[in-house]
Amino acid sequence: MNSLKKLRYKASRTALRLPKAWWEHRGLNDKDVMFASFERSGNTWLRFVLMEILTKDNAGFLNVNQILPEMGTHRESKPVLPNGGRFIKTHEQYRPEYKRAIYLMRDLRDVMLSNWARDKEMGFSQYFDNGKDMDGYVESFLQGKVTRFGSWQSHVDSWMNCPLAKNGNLLVVRYEDLRKDTETGLMEMLEFLGIPGDRELVHRAVENNSLRAMREKEDKAKKSGATLGKGTLLRKHRVDREDARFVRSGSVGGWREKLSEAQIAMVTKYAGEALVRAGYPAGPATESQSEELVASQARR
């Protein structure tokens, strides 16, 4: 069984997955808006909040994918946008089928730590060199061997330089900015989607999906044996283990305390330029230095 699991995991990260990706993208239309991100960038939290704003209904692990579907499950979903389009989650790099999108971006190093915790819990970290510690995993992650969607830096570049970014049909949202001022970021997203902004509704949706509330929802879903999206098992017998959680701490800048100097240097080697282009410090800058860098990037 472990050999089969390993084979399936490895195959899903090669060109063998391309026909499957093509099949999953059938049925898109020009009215649909993509909600894109690299894995573990805060997409689940934000999708819960947006669902409550769009439907005025409580979002949970049992209904979010019915309303704001993942790519591949979208064909049975009903429109939720004013133009009659659907709001569809994707972790893919930019594809020509995408006509309008919101791209949620999060610091590579926090994304990597979140993936590491999840893959370690799921038993996937052993598939990489020195998988029991983090060094081998870090290099594999930076080389784009860990996720099905390539490296973080190639993913970000594909979206930041795509045609949508040039014709006004792409809104880039930074996870870190949302954590500082969630409601303002959401109002910007609603404007992009053509939806009137209701501050009271937005505030209520944010409150209903705090970290504590999200964890309570996850615990409830695990106890019912639910799945999130396309087969992400929420295992009820591991509810109390931190690493088993789909909803983790959502920290900003936690990598500064958790990555070694050698690991940070490796990140800089592989992705330093991409980090700076995206408005992040290439090295362990302070928060004020990071904000100054973001501001300077925005002025260019």
Are the C-beta atoms of 88 and 32 separated by less than 8 Å? yes
Helix axes 134-142, 108-122, angle to 10 degrees: 120
- DSSP assignment, residue 226? -
pLDDT per position as a tens digit, 167-203: 999 999 999 999 999 999 999 999 999 999 899 999 9
What is the predicted pLDDT for the residue at 251?
67
List CB contacts of 142: < 8 A, sequence separation 6 or more.
112, 151, 152, 153, 266, 267, 270, 271
Are the C-beta atoms of 111 and 2 separated by less than 8 Å? no
Q: 2-9+30-299 adopts what CATH topology?
A: Rossmann fold (3.40.50)
pTM metric for this prediction: 0.81
pLDDT per position as a tens digit, 72-104: 899 889 999 999 999 999 999 999 999 999 999
pLDDT per position as a tens digit, 196-254: 989 999 999 999 888 787 877 777 776 665 544 453 434 333 333 333 444 444 567 88
What are the structural domain ranges in the chain?
A: 2-9+30-299
What is the predicted pLDDT for the residue at 229?
45
